[in-house]
Amino acid sequence: MDLNQVRLLEACFVYLKTRLNSSMQTELDDSKLFFEANGNIFTFDTYETKCDRYDFVENNLGNIEVSVDYKSLRDVSDLFEATRINEYKAVTLRSINNTDMAKKLIFKSLTQVDLKNLKGKYPDFKTNNFAYNVHDLTLNKHFSCYQFSENDSFKLIAID
């Protein structure tokens, strides 16, 4: 997947966490997704800040001030469709009280997200190759900002 699809997957991750009960949501606040690219394992964000659950912000240097690249997922029902979580599964997620089980079920759900259809609806949700708060676990290096190649492909491999 490309970085646009990774950002869409981040939105799906947030959506699935909102299907949990409030105590489980709090438990999973610091959860990270792990991706493999070019033989290295990374955790990162595709955004600098978020205004809301599905609003992603990146800053750029403008002529007079910092300009903001603001991307918002307009219709949460698109995430409902992409994650294929029906109302019965949502009720099941809400009843989970075990953090480890919640992470496992969310991870398995994320591997089945319909990213092709979601990317068709949001083709420009991420328009550059920058990532933020990057941790390259293979090199054990942290980067505040990192530029991936346009050709880099990412594979979701784990959740913590």
pLDDT in 10s for each residue of the chain, 160 residues = 999 999 999 999 999 999 999 999 999 999 999 999 999 999 999 999 998 899 999 999 989 999 999 999 989 999 999 999 998 999 999 999 999 999 999 999 999 999 999 999 999 999 999 999 999 999 999 999 999 999 999 999 999 9
Alpha-carbon torsion, ordered 35, 88, 78, 150, to 10 deg: 10
Domain positions in the chain: 3-47+75-119+127-159
Are 126 and 46 within 8 A, CB to CB?
A: yes
Instruction: Return the closest-CA partner of residue 24 out of 104, 103, 87.
Output: 103
Please state the pTM of the whole predicted model. Answer: 0.94
Spatial CB neighbours of 86, under 8 Å, sequence gap ≥ 6? none
